[in-house]
């Protein structure tokens, strides 16, 4: 099998002090993977010229493709271009297409153009420039002793645009690439170890060119099969068979047989049954609504949400009875049920999911400690409420509560629509 | 100055195919930085034993501290422990404290304990185990030829717990560390180049042990000063002076003189003036409410939000007139003003921020293309509406709209409260 490996080098002190989370590497890796290029290493280094030179030197011994992002800005801490000039024995010259691009962008934005902005069009003479339509810093393509070096800006959407328009087509043309196929099954509500015990035989019998990985997150476990080969049809057939066997082995907990979020599964269900949904959120503070609307076209199944953070809004906005709040408190079965009932009426939807809890770090009491959460799902006939505990930091507690809520809603809808 | 460098090695195929975004490295780097340890490299490699061995070997030549995360799970694709045994010439033995910890966790969760779970307590004999109270995989501390190697689980909150309880105190005891101080100023509504031109002199006059970095994101530019030294008080004094000069040089666009989000600045403002806020969201779908409630203690200033995704909810929930929607449409100045007015009444708050727009990729028309957004902020006397364009993908459009909205609200509150 023809194996083409790549390394990703991300540049910037902000990555090393942890001020920025590196999402670029994940996007680049995903895109390379789709065309059969395997990323063997990702390295983050600071804005230090010698470190950049060393990383290029080291990686060029191990891989055929090196992708660099970051350090192309117009300020003094951006030193990728001087480093590339030194590495490729080159000097900076103005690229006319890049200069015109900078001028066009500033004209369009109606902003004053400075000398510093025009410096973006200066590129090492030995590179092939890659036009960046989303920003002023062009990409660069270099070749040296059989290795392809590609330098991209660190701004995520500029990098993504260049990957699509120039890098992927360029690499496909330059290399003969193998086929890589991923198949994923997503389980929910079960631990990694239980699944691993069930899959022992399956895993042991996998051929050497196919691997199984376990990716746990937020109560989900993603099971990912990765196969490499030369013949696309042959590999596809084999992978489909294994994927089917994998999915049926864990069908008790299977949420989806593709790499998909709970909100996307829900959106598809709602579209299928032509139903509308809404949320009544206290402790999740709008995060469930955000997840539901993160999907393009969500207006076909989502009408709205009442984020009733204060008790006053639970009463005025959702019609929760004052007496209920006084007697049982906001975090209670009684309140959460009235929240669902009120939201179904106000939002005029078929299904509602509601949350009320204490996400921390403050706000807990002895009876209702931080982490106590009531979640309810319902339609006009039935409301089902359950109590949960979440035990992490505020951010994660909100995320887990939202995921759990959406999964409860998913199961409830299946039960109601398929009965 | 005493310089202690560290390298972070993250392990897992999911990092190389881009299925998981590496947040662990950022957290580890932040924590190390606070105690004066500088991360010079971050490397991500796959679940391949030889790659792990090579990375350990290479990094041990360059740094005194190597922190490894991931690959400690109980399944067959987790191969960090075998790799560590080989590297340290060691064999796996059961650690009694770790075994008891696994048993305690399963007893508490009331889940069946399998042999596979107990395997988590097997550790290389040459390590000092680090007790993990948040999960079953212990951390490990090794020393070899003057280099400290620390292996941590990849689950983010387990890793974070171990950093705090064992790693940071251990490193502080083991090394004599220099002082590192960061100071940040955050600007909004101005480009990196304009600021860089203003700061040319400031930057050129910085002493060699203090660096300035520009970190642009979502219309913000963070300016970060980083200083290293041996004497904490001396460095602090110097940094404070420079930070003050930096902040006043850009005061026209200064949002905050610390590394803080718009929602945190807003929360502080609202607490200061004892005012309440709410949101009326169409296109942002609850994301503004989520940002406002991501702050612990937000109930002191946030009452709730009406996510009026469907026009029907704009009418029923916010009292937008049917005639207004018919005549001007949902994405219009007239509608957004009525949304603010309705939300102030219903939510009974001092200030409201509202959004209505087309986030894409679908839903645009010739008159109102994808990216058209109306944002309004107001109180009981004044409502101010402005039209914007956003030009990225759906996710980013929602994020930028929310950030812009919160900044408009911040400026409006300052204007109203300080007039």
Q: Up-side HSE of residue A185: CA atoms within 13 Å toward CB?
A: 22
Q: Which two tokens stand for residue B315?
A: 């009418």
- The alpha-carbon gap from B259 to the nearest alpha carbon of chain A, in Å, equals 9
B197, closest residue in chain A (CA to CA) = A116
Selected for mutation to probe chain B from A56, A115, A293, A339 (highest B CB count within 10 Å) is A293
pLDDT at A76: 66
Assess whether pLDDT exceeds 90 at residue B190: no
A6: exposed, middle or buried (Cβ count in 10 Å: 0-12, 13-18, 19+):
buried
Please say whether the beta carbons of B211 and A13 come within 8 A.
yes
**pLDDT band for position B188 (cuts 50, 70, 90):** confident
Pick the closest to residue B162 from B128, B187, B138, B193 (CA basis). Answer: B138
Q: Which of A42, A191, A222 sits opposite B15 (nearest CB)?
A: A42
User: With bands split at pLDDT 50, 70 and 90, how would you rate the model's confidence at B76?
Assistant: low
> To probe the interface with B, which of A52, A193, A281 has the most B CB atoms within 10 Å?
A193
- Give B157 or B283, the one with higher predicted confidence: B283
φ/ψ of A390, rounded to 5, equals -120, 150
Tell which wins on pLDDT, B78 or A125.
A125
Which of B15, B116, B395 is nearest residue A294 as measured by Cβ atoms?
A: B395
Over residues B201-209, mean pLDDT:
94
Confidence band for B133, pLDDT divided at 50, 70 and 90: confident
Q: Which residues contact B225 (CB under 8 A, 6 or more apart)?
A: B182, B183, B184, B210, B211, B212, B239, B242, B243, B246
Task: Tell me, rounded to whole angstroms, the distance of Cα A385 from its chain centroid.
Answer: 30
**What value, to the nearest 5°, has the Cα angle with vertex A157 and ends A116 and A4?**
105
| CA nearest neighbour of B153 among B172, B169, B171, B166 | B166
Is pLDDT above 70 for B178? Answer: yes
Query: Mean pLDDT throughout B303-310?
Result: 98
Percent of all residues in chain B with a pLDDT value above 90, rounded to a whole number: 74
> In the predicted model, is pLDDT for residue B360 greater than 80?
yes
Q: Characterize the bridge pairing of strands B139-144 and B147-152.
A: antiparallel
Residue (of B393, B405, B372) closest to B291 by Cα position: B405
| B208–A contact, CB cutoff 8 A | no
Q: Is the pLDDT of residue B373 over 70?
A: yes
Please count the residue pairs, one from chain A and one from chain B, whose beta carbons lie less than 8 angstroms apart: 306
* Token duo for residue A314: 């639970």
Which stretches in chain A have pLDDT values below 70? 1, 76
Mean pLDDT computed over B322-347: 98
Contact with chain A for residue B62, Cβ under 8 A = no
Return the residue of A nearest to B300 by Cα.
A310
Asked if A21's CB is within 8 angstroms of B26's CB, the reply is yes
Count CB neighbours of A219 within 10 A: 15
Residue B395 touches partner A, C-beta closer than 8 Å = yes
* B361 touches B370 (CB < 8 A): yes
d(CA A396, CA A399): 5
What HEC string does B148-210 produce?
EEEEECCCHHHHHHHHHHHHHHHHHHHCCCCEEEEEEEEEECCCHHHHHHHCHHHHHCCCCCE
Give B382's DSSP letter: -
Q: Which two tokens stand for residue A322?
A: 């004052």
Reported as a single tens digit per residue, the pLDDT across A23-42 is 899 999 989 988 889 899 99
Distance between CA atoms of residues B134 and A39, nearest Å: 32
pLDDT value, residue B417: 96
Alpha-carbon distance of B253 to B247, in angstroms, equals 9
Contact A314, A326 (CB under 8 A): no
d(CA B1, CA B208): 12
ipTM above 0.85, yes or no: no
* Sequence-separated (6 or more) residues with CB below 8 Å from residue A323: none
Q: Chain B residue with minimal CA distance to A72? A: B214
Give the Cα separation of B12 and A40 in Å (integer).
11
- Chain A nearest-CA residue for B136: A193
**How close is the nearest chain B Cα to the Cα of A38, in Å?**
8
Domains and CATH numbers, chain A: 4-174 (3.40.980.10), 179-256 (3.30.70.2860), 262-417 (3.90.950.20)
DSSP B55-94: HHHHHHTT-SEEEEES--SSSTT--HHHHHHHHTT--EEE
pLDDT reading at B248 higher than 90: yes
Average pLDDT for B247-258: 94
Look up residue A210 and give its two tokens. 């196919």
Rounded-to-integer distance, Cα B339 and Cα A326, Å:
31
Mean pLDDT of chain B: 92
Q: Omega into A394 within 30° of 0, i.e. cis?
A: no
A window 258-317, beta carbon within 8 A of B: 259, 279, 281, 285-290, 292-294, 296-299, 302-310, 312-313, 316-317
CB contact burial B388-404 (16+ within 10 A = b; e otherwise): bebebebeebbbbbbbb
3-class state of residue A357 by DSSP: strand
A84 close to A143: Cβ distance less than 8 angstroms: no
The two structure tokens encoding residue A173? 């043309």
Rg of chain A (C-alpha set): 26
Residue B303 CB neighbours (<10 A): 25
Kindly give, in sequence order, each residue whose CB lies less than 8 Å from that of residue B234, ignoring residues fewer than 6 positions away.
none
Predicted confidence at residue A396, as pLDDT, reads 85
In angstroms, the CA A258 to CA A261 distance is 9
Chain B touched by A34 (CB under 8 Å): no
Indicate the burial class of A123 (C-beta count within 10 angstroms; 0-12, 13-18, 19 or more): buried
pLDDT for the residue B320: 98
CA distance B304 to chain A (A): 5
Q: Is the peptide bond before B361 cis (omega within 30 degrees of 0)?
A: yes
φ/ψ region of B186 (left if φ > 0, alpha if ψ in -120 to 50, else beta) reads beta
* Interface probe, candidates B193, B198, B224, chain A, greatest A C-beta count within 10 A: B193
Q: What is the pLDDT of residue A1?
A: 65
Quickly count: other Cβ atoms within 10 Å of residue B117's Cβ: 21
For residue A217, the model assigns a pLDDT of: 74
Query: What SS3 state is found at B234?
Result: helix
Task: For the beta carbon of residue A380, count every other beta carbon within 10 angstroms.
Answer: 12
The count of residues in chain B is 419
Residue B1 pLDDT exceeds 80? no
- Is residue B263 a contact partner of residue B218, using CB atoms and an 8 Å limit? no
DSSP B98-114: HHHHHHHHHHHHT----
d(CA A127, CA A141): 5
Chain centroid to CA B280: 25
């Amino acid at each position: 099998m023809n194996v083409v490996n790549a390394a990703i080098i991300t540049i910037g002190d902000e990555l090393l002090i942890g001020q920025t989370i590196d999402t670029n590497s994940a996007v680049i890796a995903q895109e390379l993977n789709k065309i059969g290029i395997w990323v063997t290493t990702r390295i983050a280094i600071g804005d230090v010229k010698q470190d950049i030179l060393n990383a290029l030197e080291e990686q060029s011994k191990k891989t055929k493709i090196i992708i660099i992002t970051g350090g192309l800005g117009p300020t003094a801490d951006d030193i990728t271009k001087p480093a590339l000039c030194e590495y490729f024995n080159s000097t900076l010259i103005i690229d006319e297409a890049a200069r015109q691009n900078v001028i066009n962008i500033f004209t369009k934005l109606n902003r004053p153009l400075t000398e510093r902005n025009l410096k973006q069009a200066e590129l090492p003479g030995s590179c092939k420039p890659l036009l960046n339509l989303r920003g002023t810093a062009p990409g660069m393509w270099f070749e040296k002793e059989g290795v392809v070096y590609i330098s991209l800006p660190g701004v995520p959407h500029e990098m993504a645009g260049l990957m699509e328009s120039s890098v992927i087509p360029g690499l496909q043309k330059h290399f003969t690439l193998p086929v890589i196929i991923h198949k994923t099954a997503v389980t929910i509500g079960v631990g990694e170890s239980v699944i691993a015990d069930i899959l022992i035989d399956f895993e042991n019998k996998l051929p050497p060119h196919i691997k199984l990985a376990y990716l746990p997150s937020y109560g989900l476990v993603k099971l990912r099969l990765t196969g490499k080969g030369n013949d696309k049809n042959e590999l596809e057939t084999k992978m489909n068979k294994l994927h089917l066997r994998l999915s049926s082995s864990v069908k008790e907990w299977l949420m989806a047989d593709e790499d998909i979020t709970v909100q996307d599964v829900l959106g598809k269900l709602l579209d299928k049954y032509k139903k509308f949904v809404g949320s009544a959120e206290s402790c999740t503070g709008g995060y469930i609504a955000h997840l539901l609307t993160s999907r393009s076209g969500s207006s076909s199944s989502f009408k709205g949400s009442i984020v009733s953070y204060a008790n006053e809004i639970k009463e005025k906005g959702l019609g929760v009875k004052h007496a209920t709040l006084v007697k049982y408190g906001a975090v209670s079965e009684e309140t959460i049920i009235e929240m669902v009932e009120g939201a179904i009426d106000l939002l005029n939807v078929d299904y509602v999911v509601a949350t009320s809890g204490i996400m921390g770090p403050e706000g807990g009491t002895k009876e209702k400690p931080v982490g106590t959460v009531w979640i309810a799902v319902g339609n006009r006939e039935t409301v089902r409420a359950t109590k949960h505990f979440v035990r992490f930091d505020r951010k994660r507690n909100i995320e887990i509560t939202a995921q759990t809520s959406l999964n409860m809603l998913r199961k409830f809808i299946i039960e109601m629509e398929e009965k």
